[in-house]
Structures are given as structure tokens and as C-alpha cells.
Amino acid sequence: MFDEIMKKVYEKTPLVHSITNYVTVNDCANIILASGGSPIMADDIAEVEDITSICSSLVINMGTLNERTIRSMIAAGKKANELRHPVVFDPVGAGASALRNDTAIKLLKEVHFSVIRGNISEIKFLASGSSGAQGVDASAADAVTADKLDSVIYFAKALSRKTGAVIAITGATDIVADSGKAYVITNGHTMMSKVTGTGCMLTAVIGSYIGANHGNILDAAAAAVTAMGLCGELAYKKLCEIDGGTNTYRMLIIDYMSKMNTALLKEGAQIESR
């Protein structure tokens, strides 16, 4: 599947409109470029519909949401839906505040998402309105361990059925599922949790990949998750060679996304379907 997905990204250079947080926005823009897309960040209500109209996909990330940008997210999401552009949602910190909870629920109601990506605690919140989340990281109690894998896959498929979105639950083990099929991906490295925004960056790369693959959202999202995990592995290997710390690691992750290609991805992918 990787050949076709990657080829389309490189052919199309998809424009990706992002309404995202100001913490990790630079890394998100750079990793969209590195992945073969082209980023536009714009969040004012007066222009989000114009901007999303010229793009191939829309990323909505609620990392540093506020009243002004929530309205823009909804307006842009509705416009993207109208134009049949895929929209990916990153419910950063869902479960951590009433504002985040209400916003996530409102967005799910008002906008149709093609992909929803979050950690297990965030996704559980979306499904049930409650979670064990502590801040913006998944809680230990929610961790996707081997014995829970089957039930999490079942859960992801059910949530996909309910929302119509591909569900990407990322952590030590990643699950990317639609209502009928799930990919289980074990690429990645634990050190990625020591860099702020690896989740946001992954969501941005999903935006890039699905922007060039409107007809195959599940595989495009799974390819993005695999590519990001592999970048984490390759970057870690390099980091050990040069004895770097966590900020060098951040940079190397983006570097490897800019070096990613079908051959590397096929060789390194740890993915199976269920």
C-alpha cells in the first residue's frame, strides 16, 4: 500500500490548512513540508473558509484553543465538509478541562472528520465523555498493553462506525482503524514522549498524506503513523551515535521525515492488519 500512498503525496504536494496550537506550530509546518506537503496556518474567522477552499485537507488541533479559534475551527470544518476535503482532528487534552471537553463534543457534532488521532485517553474521552487523562498525556491506566489490544481494536472499530472517521490511537502500540479493518503498528520509540508535539506533528503528517489520497483515507493515515514511528526509530539510532539530547532528537525526527521514501518505509514498517 505504501507505494501508491507515497507516490500521490509527491505528485500532488498537497496544501494543508492547519488551525493548530502555537506551541508546536513551527514543527508542524516543517514536518508537513518534510512529508511532501505544503502548510498554510490561518485561524481568523474572516479567512478560514477562503484558505481551506484552496487546500487539499484541513487539520484541526485544539492544543491551545480559545473562543476565537473554536469558531474558526467549526467554520473551516464545515467548509471543508462542503467541499469534500478530508479533515483530521487532534483532540489535544480532551478530558483535561470543561472547555476542551465541550469543544471536542461540539466539533464532533458540527464537523465530519475523516480521521481522528489522539492518545488512548483522549480517544476514550471522545467515545464516552470520560477518561483517565492527566493533562495532555495518556494516563498509565489507559495504556494499550498486549492483553488489552483486542479490546482496543474492537473499541476503535466501533468508534469509527459511530463517527464515520478513521480512528488513530497512538502510543507504544498504534491502532488505525475504520469500521471494518484495523492496522496495528509497533514502530516508534519511547523517547518520542520527551519531545513536545510528536502527536501534533503526526496529525500534521496525516493531513499531508490524506490530502493527496482522498480515496484511501485508512491506508494514508496508517502510512503516516508508520512513517512517523519509523522516523522516531531512525532518529533515535542517529541520536545515540552523536550522543544528543531531546532537542536534537526533535530535529532529527523532522529530518528523517524529509528523508522518508517508499523503500525506507517498506523496509522499516512494523504493521499488520486485523
Q: Binding residues for its own copies, per CB under 8 A?
A: 15, 21-27, 29-30, 33-34, 38-44, 46-47, 50-51, 54-55, 63-68, 93, 96-100, 134-137, 194-197, 244-248, 250-252, 254-259
In the complex with its own copies, the residue whose CB is nearer, 99 or 158, is 99
Between CA 108 and CA 110 the distance in angstroms is: 6
Instruction: Provide the strand spans (E) within 7-143.
Output: 15-19, 38-41, 57-61, 87-90, 115-118
What is the closest distance, in whole angstroms, from the C-beta atom of residue 114 to its own copies in the complex? 20
What is the closest distance, in whole angstroms, from the C-beta atom of residue 17 to its own copies in the complex? 9
What is the closest distance, in whole angstroms, from the C-beta atom of residue 162 to its own copies in the complex? 26
Between CA 250 and CA 268 the distance in angstroms is: 20
In the complex with its own copies, the residue whose CB is nearer, 32 or 156, is 32
| Residue in the structure block whose three cell numbers are 476503535 | 156
Tally of residues, the chain:
274
Between CA 262 and CA 6 the distance in angstroms is: 6
Q: Cβ contacts of residue 100 below 8 Å, gap of 6+?
A: 62, 65, 91, 92, 93, 94
In the complex with its own copies, the residue whose CB is nearer, 47 or 272, is 47
Give the count of beta carbons closer than 10 Å to the beta carbon of residue 110.
Answer: 13
Closest listed residue to residue 116, CA positions, set 38, 55, 52, 60: 60
Closest listed residue to residue 175, CA positions, set 199, 88, 167, 148: 167
What is the closest distance, in whole angstroms, from the C-beta atom of residue 135 to its own copies in the complex? 5
In the complex with its own copies, the residue whose CB is nearer, 25 or 58, is 25
Identify whether the C-beta of residue 86 lies closer than 8 Å to the C-beta of residue 48: no
What is the closest distance, in whole angstroms, from the C-beta atom of residue 255 to its own copies in the complex? 3
In the complex with its own copies, the residue whose CB is nearer, 13 or 270, is 13
In the complex with its own copies, the residue whose CB is nearer, 15 or 144, is 15
What is the closest distance, in whole angstroms, from the C-beta atom of residue 251 to its own copies in the complex? 4
Q: Tell me the C-alpha to C-alpha distance, in Å, between residue 81 and each of 52, 86, 87, 118, 205.
A: 10, 7, 8, 21, 20
In the complex with its own copies, the residue whose CB is nearer, 24 or 81, is 24
What is the closest distance, in whole angstroms, from the C-beta atom of residue 88 to its own copies in the complex? 18
